[in-house]
Amino acid sequence: MPTYSEKVMDHFMNPRNVGEIPDADGVGLVGNPVCGDMMAFYIKVDNGRLSDVKFKTFGCGAAIAVSSMVSEMAKGMTLEEAKKLSNKDVADELDGLPPNKMHCSNLGADALHKAIEDYESRSRAPREPVKIKEVEPVPEKECVCPFCDSALEERDPTCRVCGAELDFCPECGEALPKGTEKCPECGARVEKA
């Protein structure tokens, strides 16, 4: 089972800025089909700064903690500063994430960036109410090697960076060390080939 920092647990148990901004200036939606995490970020912009940031997340504890931290970090930033917010910045602010949860920090930063893109595209065009159509999937490259944290190709049984042999959870798609019998993420049994 992954070990989480106190900050991750605090943001998971007491998430900040949860909710929706009904008259949001921008909305960013992302999802990861491999792990099932989905995030929606809502932003308000005043004089080029993020005056309010809210989120809704469906996912694991790390995804919720990441969303909470991204919302806290981004509030008050200029749009340019927020565009530079990276997955490493988020993970560092949370005092680290287990290697197999780093993709969550990508999702949080990606959702914020998409909300900013939405704001910028609508500020160039006539204003329309925000309509949420569907979650835009994040490419499967977000699946990471549990040994070296490198992005994996689609269910590749061998990490191309460190050479580790891998299995994949049949339920959540998590990359696992070869021979793992039970997925530490969702608890599913992993069939032996």
The residues that are catalytic are: 35, 104
- Separation in Å, CA 158 to CA 64, 167, 184: 30, 9, 20
Q: Which residues share a beta bridge with 60?
A: none
**How far apart are alpha carbons 84 and 81 in whole angstroms?**
5
Q: Which residues share a beta bridge with 41?
A: 28, 55
Dig out the tokens for 142 from the structure: 């977000």
- Report whether 7 contacts 93 (CB < 8 A): yes
**How far apart are alpha carbons 68 and 130 in whole angstroms?**
22
- Report whether 131 contacts 103 (CB < 8 A): no
Burial of 187 (0-12, 13-18, 19+ CB in 10 A): exposed
Q: Which residues share a beta bridge with 55?
A: 18, 41
